[in-house]
Structure 1
Amino acid sequence: MKRLLLIIALLFCVSTNTIEAQNLKIDKNTVIKNAEGKQIDLDTFSELMTSGEWTIEEKKDKKGHSYIQLKKTTEAQKEMILKMMKEQVSDSEKIGKEASEFSITDMDGNIISSENTKGKIVVLNFWFTTCKPCVKEIPELNKVYDKYKNNDKIVFASITFNEKPKVEKFLKKHPIKYPVVTDERTTISAFDISGYPTNLVIGKDGKIADYLMGGLATMGDYIESARERALKVE
């Protein structure tokens, strides 16, 4: 029997090139077709799904082989999907816990640490260069940074395990306005980052105020509203 699977539990978190939608595991070997019936790859599928514009339906072809069919959402479905996505991105288990100690150095040689950011809000973005959802949210995060870059009570850092030469090449095509830290696996491990992108907000009290996993088309707005709601920074 055909089942319409509304993507309200789709995890847009890239870690092993696998996406889970409810009880379906979708990976690079899964046949996925767009609304016109043309087969698309996993990266394209991931990008499309972050918009909330699509649902999926499991189908079988004439030979009995399963495939995933994209279907356009109704306005009501889209509203529900985006609402659920916003609720899904936050890892409530980590919120309120003491943040791990850290010390990182950005590409300009500036040190950002738990010691020199005491009493400040710290926004950490974890990503890597070939992560499509990570790239997609860069403009959103740049907007947030532009708004608060002159506020000395807020510190931003973008952290990746990619090596500096690769990141330098990447930044020519996808500029990141906030400080970028490369070759950094210690901090990634310390904060238990298992999927990308992850955006982590540390409050003035040194505790995790928000732990946002996965790409979201409006991630910038979500981080800003989360900051205003949880941290109430002027």
Structure 2
Amino acid sequence: MKNLIIIIITFLISIAGFSQNKFGNPEVDPIQIQQKYADWWPYQSKKIMLSRDFTALDADSKEISKESFLNELVNTNYIPIRLESNDSIIYYKLFKILPKADTSIKATINQEAFDAYKNFKMEGTPFPKFSFTDLDGNLVSNETMKGKIIVIKCWYIHCAACIKEFPEVNALAAKYKDRKDIVFLSLAEDTPEQLKTFLARKPLSYSVIPNMKIYMNETLQLNAFPTHFILNKEGVIAKVLPNYKSLEVALEKESKL
């Protein structure tokens, strides 16, 4: 009987190990990484993009929906860790936050996941109808943009994170400059006068729409900046993204569809 129990326990351990290794091992130690916020944040900010397409795994390495994965991060005590993988599929797995972990980690994860969940729920819905005039006097509307992929950057002059990514988004616009079916727009809170003065010092290679504060706050209900949208050629929101890094990955995928 004792030998039978040992055999059963060994079998269960091997099954648990297979469930983990089937998708790959964690690329960092899930326990060690959550000891200090200063150690965890560089990993989180560089390796975890909750806005991207990924295969979501729960704490038992079972596949779950992205919506369920984000819900767990918002409402419970988990951190996401990427698993090592040789294929092109990205695997994120939930790991329990330990009682002695830095409390700032949980707070930051909850907020990032809340924003990611809100953005995720917008994807697949039609972008609100619009008719804007940019700083050069050009009319920009759903009708004039029909049949094009539209990349939209939402920002304002005093948003440091928005300005910091100007070189990267300008390079992205340059990369796709020969794609006549891809348009780069930006919605800014500020007045035309403020924007013209600011952009003379820090150019942005997007068509810039001024006075968009009410539209972004009330129609789009944004609470984080920058926020990027990718609209497909049918005017449906394909992706909502928090930064240039996520935007670059998503646009490369959308541009090939």
Q: TM-score range by the shorter chain?
A: 0.5 to 0.7
Aligned to 2:249: 225
Cα drift, residue 172 of structure 1: 2.1
In structure 1, distance between residues paired with 2:155 and 2:127: 19
CA spacing shift, 1:56–1:230, aligned 2, 3 Å: farther
CA spacing shift, 1:93–1:191, aligned 2, 3 Å: same
With a CA cutoff of 8 Å and minimum separation of 6, indicate the structure with the bigger relative contact order: 1
- Which residue identity is paired with 1:101? K
User: Would you say 1:201 and 2:219 are equivalent positions?
Assistant: no
User: Would you say 1:78 and 2:42 are equivalent positions?
Assistant: yes
- Which residue identity is paired with 2:246? Y
User: Would you say 1:150 and 2:174 are equivalent positions?
Assistant: no
In structure 2, distance between residues paired with 1:209 and 1:195: 18
In structure 1, distance between residues paired with 2:189 and 2:42: 34
In structure 1, distance between residues paired with 2:45 and 2:156: 26
Cα drift, residue 154 of structure 1: 0.8
- Which residue identity is paired with 1:175? P
CA spacing shift, 1:78–1:185, aligned 2, 3 Å: closer
How well do the aligned residues superpose, as a CA RMSD in angstroms?
2.5
CA spacing shift, 1:171–1:56, aligned 2, 3 Å: farther
In structure 2, distance between residues paired with 1:190 and 1:223: 22
In structure 2, distance between residues paired with 1:185 and 1:85: 27
Q: Which of the numbers 115, 122, 146 marks the counterpart of 1:118?
A: 146
Whether the 8 Å CA contact 2:229–2:239 is kept in 1: the answer is yes
Whether the 8 Å CA contact 1:203–1:231 is kept in 2: the answer is no
Cα drift, residue 179 of structure 1: 1.0
- Which residue identity is paired with 1:228? E
> How many residues align structurally?
159
In structure 1, distance between residues paired with 2:48 and 2:120: 14
Whether the 8 Å CA contact 1:104–1:181 is kept in 2: the answer is yes
In structure 2, distance between residues paired with 1:187 and 1:111: 16
User: Would you say 1:139 and 2:167 are equivalent positions?
Assistant: yes
Cα drift, residue 86 of structure 1: 4.9
Cα drift, residue 80 of structure 1: 4.2
Q: Structure 1: which 5+ runs fail to align?
A: 1-54, 58-69
Whether the 8 Å CA contact 1:209–1:231 is kept in 2: the answer is no
Aligned to 1:210: 239
Q: Which of the numbers 190, 193, 199 marks the counterpart of 1:171?
A: 199
Q: Which has the higher helix share?
A: 2
In structure 2, distance between residues paired with 1:151 and 1:111: 20
Aligned to 2:58: none
In structure 2, distance between residues paired with 1:173 and 1:86: 33
Query: Deviation digits for residues 133-161 of structure 1, max 9, x if unmatched?
Result: 11111111101111112321011111112
Cα drift, residue 56 of structure 1: 10
Whether the 8 Å CA contact 1:99–1:208 is kept in 2: the answer is yes
Cα drift, residue 225 of structure 1: 1.8
- Which residue identity is paired with 1:114? N
Q: Which has the higher strand share?
A: 1
CA spacing shift, 1:231–1:170, aligned 2, 3 Å: same
Name the larger-Rg structure: 2
User: Would you say 1:190 and 2:245 are equivalent positions?
Assistant: no
User: Would you say 1:130 and 2:158 are equivalent positions?
Assistant: yes
CA spacing shift, 1:152–1:84, aligned 2, 3 Å: same
Task: Between 98-107 and 187-196, report the one with greater CA deviation.
Answer: 187-196
